Structure 1
Amino acid sequence: MTALPVLHIDAHMLVIDKPAGLAVHAGPKTPRSLDDRLGELAFGFRRLPQPAHRLDRDTSGCLVLARHPKAAKRLGQLFAAGAVAKTYLAVLDGIPAEPEGRIAAPLAKVSSAEAGWRMVVGEGGKPAATRWRLLAAHGGQALVAFFPETGRTHQIRVHAAHALAPIAGDPVYGGGKGPMRLHSAGLVIPYREDAPVSVSAALPADWPLWAREAAANEKGPPFRATPSA
């Protein structure tokens, strides 16, 4: 079993590069999860670290874990307040008409016995907003950086499909052919306001070469995460 890559570690938190396919928590359809591997991430602490937020099973990249209860409370407050700046990268099955923009569309959860649950854009939903920027296009697909201002379930996946194009490989909101191409590429965590932790994770090696090259060549803002207003 391959060790989970650690991108950052200190006395309060650690950030791992979560592989796609690994669920953060166990569930009816995900009996194997990160819960089974927390012992690998104790690094001398008696308490096992605990995830401070969630990533979808098929989303890769930066995942924060708290190393003690006070850190769990502090990190939970930061994520809930939108103080943690997030940058995601995604390959879309289509090319946006504009170079950048902002999607403001409320999200609500719906479910049925036949199709299960999913998130939809609807007037009765919770407010949700996502900034985005086109980084590259190739063969009818696009590499887009997303900067969520809120943290709703499946927010980027639904906003992309609603306003731009579905994320490649998305089994719920897209065609579902092949692995889903959504990656948590960067976080800025103001655990201490005077010394925020900035972490980034490169695109996985199984992503298309053109996307990996475009991401590697992108240096300046707004690619890096910045706190939402």
Structure 2
Amino acid sequence: MTPPLSLLHLDDHLVAVHKPAGLLVHRSALARGEREFLLQRLRDQLGRRVYPVHRLDRPTSGVIVFALDPDTAAALQAAFTARRVTKRYLAVVRGIGPERERLDYPLREEDGRRPKAQMPAMEAATEVRRLDTVELPVRVDRYPQSRYSLMEASPLTGRRHQIRRHLSRRGYPIIGDAKHGKGNHNRFFAEHLACPRLLLAAVGLGFDHPVSGRPLDLCCPLDATMTTLFERFGWTGHLPTPTRSPVPSVMP
């Protein structure tokens, strides 16, 4: 039996949930043959309709928000479009990442339907910060030791695969990224560290509640895979403190 989704917040107008890695948010033309989706599971769990307002990539885990009515959906979508939502991600990358940097490489849209050359490059900006590092006495690449970093990433725009592409372009691909990463490091983490997935998690989301206007800061814990890795690497001081419980209903 599939366990229920972990709710981070629930009120009369919106719900925030911890999306498991590997689960699609909703049906799309690129997901033919898939039968399980976050939107349907959440709808069935709550017993009511939910409205998507933003997205997380399939392999990314973490916090995602749904509206519970069309007006709230429109207000939240407007907030995301106007960049009035703060986002915080944690990623494990190859190498010693930059201490603090703004990555602003323009990115072409990746929709899988047209050649990249036909797609214009669009503005994209991500602020990154190195939180910690680890050096393992293992030869994975050409060096006798292998070094990895824990990076915090805050995307200021919302391009597809933005964090993954920006960090890879900078020379620090995220572990487990099959498309933009390094296969030998991905295999090492999968075979020796029990991490066979993309090590990218959306751990924070902040915005003004569309009805009450009060600031809402949501924090999502890491899943078991990333938590165990953090413990192994001595990074437990960076584990997110989750939102304690759904807040009381906010009345209009």
TM-score, normalising length from structure 1? 0.83
Q: 2:174 aligns with which of 167, 175, 185?
A: 167
Cα distance in structure 2, aligned partners of 1:92 and 1:16: 25
User: Which structure: larger Rg?
Assistant: 2
The answer to whether the Cα contact below 8 Å between 1:108 and 1:119 also exists between their aligned partners in 2 is no
Point out the structure with the larger helix share: 2
How far does residue 107 in structure 1 lie from its aligned partner after superposition? 0.6
The answer to whether the Cα contact below 8 Å between 1:119 and 1:158 also exists between their aligned partners in 2 is no
Cα distance in structure 2, aligned partners of 1:157 and 1:134: 15
Cα distance in structure 1, aligned partners of 2:49 and 2:234: 35
Q: 1:132 aligns with which of 107, 124, 128?
A: 128
Cα distance in structure 1, aligned partners of 2:240 and 2:4: 28
Structure 2 counterpart SS, 1:186: strand
| Alignment RMSD | 2.7
Structure 2 unaligned blocks of 5 or more: 136-146, 187-195, 242-252
Q: Is structure 2 residue 38 aligned with structure 1 residue 19?
A: no
Size of the alignment, in residue pairs?
210
Matches within 5 A, 1:58-207: 58-96=59-97, 98-109=98-109, 124-139=120-135, 140-175=147-182, 177=186, 178-192=196-210, 194-207=213-226
Structure 2 counterpart SS, 1:206: helix
The answer to whether the Cα contact below 8 Å between 1:91 and 1:182 also exists between their aligned partners in 2 is yes
Moved over 4 A (4+): 116-120
Report sequence identity in percent: 35
Structure 1 unaligned blocks of 5 or more: 219-229
Cα distance in structure 2, aligned partners of 1:211 and 1:203: 15
> 1:173–1:95: structure 2 CA closer, same or farther, 3 Å change rule?
same
> 1:85–1:29: structure 2 CA closer, same or farther, 3 Å change rule?
farther
Cα distance in structure 1, aligned partners of 2:114 and 2:202: 21
How far does residue 93 in structure 1 lie from its aligned partner after superposition? 1.6
> 1:118–1:42: structure 2 CA closer, same or farther, 3 Å change rule?
farther
Cα distance in structure 1, aligned partners of 2:115 and 2:167: 12
